[in-house]
Amino acid sequence: MITVSLCMIVKNEEKILARCLDSIADLVDEIIIVDTGSVDGTKRVAAKYTDRIYDFTWIGDFAAARNFAFSKAEMDYIYSADADEVLDENNRWAFRQLKETLLPEIDIVQMYYTNQLAHGTIYNYDRELRPKLFKRLRTFQWRGAIHEQVGLEPVIYDSDIEICHMPENNHKDRDLAAFLRQTEKGCRLDKRLHNIYAKELFISGEDKDFIAARPFFQASCKDEGRSLDEIKEAACVAARAARICGDAEDFFKFAMKVVASEGCSEICCELGEYYLQKQDIDEAAVWFYNAAYETESILNIHSGGDIPFLGLAQCCRRTGNDTQAREYEKLAAEWEAVPKNPE
């Protein structure tokens, strides 16, 4: 049977840390908690489960903190967990079975991260395979100051274990601030982080966040090193920011970049909102209809579902068609995010 080190980085997780540790503590062989600056009782809670508690001065880099935690591990494998994760009884049993049967040539075990859509996370699907268990003797390095990932080409096993993601609150303010710091320092986000930044803006960003991100995504649209998909998502952000700022010329410049490349639900919704603000109800309805029925979302799955349905309902209300408005409101209420599984 393999041995497992549980490695966690935490900060101000007093309310939920015990819930996480109660679900995994008896399945692992050592517990390593790295605290990045808690001012609540997080370390008191952690001390009930382990004496391997370390302080790490926060430098705005999740990868650095995870690498520090990994450096303290001594078992065969390292299980990387966050405080808002929970294993239920079925998956606790599956984890125990995994320990007993894992083949030694496996470097990484992936597990399903679930319950994503219930908490306004950056993901457009409810169940996603993620690397969670790592062979310690491999040289694993976390990369990326935010939304970090391990950079390797190891032997990977996809398990059936499901980890329930149960955050107490949305981390979007922390994440968007981190992205802004990175871009303002001139850091070039790779394709994955570029996509996550755009997604997080469209899923949970406020007007101020789009305005702050505007220069970076405007520059991305001109970056010859970016793929067509990256330019398309950048143009969506730049168009939204321009609409918020009342810059019609910039809005149409970036919106048309997306329309010219087959469009997407996000930009159709933006055009719908633009014309709704201009009181051009017929034109607004055309674009909301296109968002709901003719295009696909690329950043926020709701842009192809309940958002345009509610936009169409507004259009109907403004033209006095309350019956049709109620139909669209019903469609919005009944709509469910059922995206393709990213596996």
Residue 122 has pLDDT above 60, yes or no: no
Same domain, 160 and 178: no
Residue 269 is assigned to a structural domain of this protein: yes
Same domain, 330 and 191: yes
Same domain, 178 and 325: yes
Domain span at residue 229 reads: 172-334
Same domain, 275 and 226: yes
Domain boundary, last residue among 165, 190, 223: 165
Sign of the torsion angle spanned by Cα atoms 317, 319, 323, 325: negative
Q: What tokens does 168 get?
A: 């107490």
Buried b (16+ CB within 10 A) or exposed e, 70-108: beebebbbbbbbebbbbbeeebbebbeebbeebeeebbb
Domain boundary, last residue among 103, 133, 165: 165
Same domain, 269 and 316: yes
Residue 297 is assigned to a structural domain of this protein: yes
Same domain, 269 and 238: yes
What is the rounded CA–CA span in Å between residue 100 and residue 102? 6
CATH code at position 313: 1.25.40.10
Return the bridge partners of 5, or none.
30, 78
- Residue 166 has a pLDDT of 85
- Residue 123 has a pLDDT of 55
Domain boundary, last residue among 165, 196, 231: 165
Residue 310 has pLDDT above 90, yes or no: yes
- Residue 258 has a pLDDT of 96
Residue 175 CB coordination number (10 Å): 20
What is the rounded CA–CA span in Å between residue 111 and residue 64? 23
Q: Please, which residues have CB within 8 angstroms of residue 186's CB and are 6 or more apart in sequence? A: none
What is the rounded CA–CA span in Å between residue 6 and residue 297? 37
pLDDT above 70 as % of the chain: 93
Of 281, 274, 272, the closest CA to residue 320 belongs to 281
Buried b (16+ CB within 10 A) or exposed e, 129-158: eebbbbbbeeebebebbbbbebebeeeebe
Residue 193 is assigned to a structural domain of this protein: yes
**Amino acid of residue 239:** A
pTM, entire model: 0.73
Q: What tokens does 36 get?
A: 């990045």
Residue bearing the bigger pLDDT, 173 or 292 = 292
Residue 125 has pLDDT above 90, yes or no: no
Note whether 12 and 40 are within 8 A (CB): yes
Reported confidence tier of residue 167, pLDDT bands at 50, 70, 90: confident
Residue 339 is assigned to a structural domain of this protein: no
What is the rounded CA–CA span in Å between residue 15 and residue 18? 8
Same domain, 142 and 182: no
Query: What is residue 268's three-state secondary structure?
Result: helix
Note whether 23 and 92 are within 8 A (CB): yes
Same domain, 10 and 151: yes
Q: State the distance between the two ends of the chain, measured CA to CA, in whole angstroms.
A: 29
**Span 323-341, mean pLDDT?**
83
From the CA atom positions of the chain, what is the Rg in Å?
23
Same domain, 113 and 201: no
Domain count, the chain: 2
Same domain, 31 and 176: no
CATH code at position 76: 3.90.550.10
